[in-house]
Amino acid sequence: MFDEWIWSFHGKVSKLALVGVAAILWIIWKTRNNACFRNVWPSDPSSVIYNICSIVDDWAILQKVLPEAFNRSQGWAPVTLWLTSDAR
């Protein structure tokens, strides 16, 4: 049932839907583990929503920064990043 819904999306919307669902499930899993094993409960339900949005945002940034990391004809390729800082 779920797979029919998720695959009904096309193109970039399909990828975004998959990332959104994965982010929701991952944050629910992490929140549950923190509650069960560390006895740390979310102080506010909006913190869970914030964490989901943060993961999706991070994923979107990575998709823009490293599009050349995957080459379909050759598989994964190493990407060299040079980080510069003007702060001294």
Q: What is the pLDDT of residues 29-58, one digit of tens each?
A: 999 999 999 999 999 989 999 998 888 888
Burial of residue 27 (number of CB atoms within 10 Å: 0-12, 13-18, 19+): buried
Tell me, yes or no, whether 85 lies in a domain. Answer: no
Q: What's the sign of the alpha-carbon dihedral 18, 23, 26, 28?
A: negative
pTM of the model: 0.60
Tell me, yes or no, whether 87 lies in a domain. Answer: no
Q: Which domain holds residue 10?
A: 2-76
pLDDT above 80 for 24: yes
Tell me, yes or no, whether 50 lies in a domain. Answer: yes
> Crossing angle, helix 45-65 and helix 12-37, to 10 degrees?
140
Residue 88: which pLDDT band, with cuts at 50, 70 and 90?
Answer: very low
For residue 31, give the nearest of 19, 17, 20, 47 by alpha carbon. Answer: 47
* Cβ proximity of 48 and 31 under 8 Å: yes
What average pLDDT does the chain have?
76
The total domain count for the chain is: 1
Tell me, yes or no, whether 86 lies in a domain. Answer: no
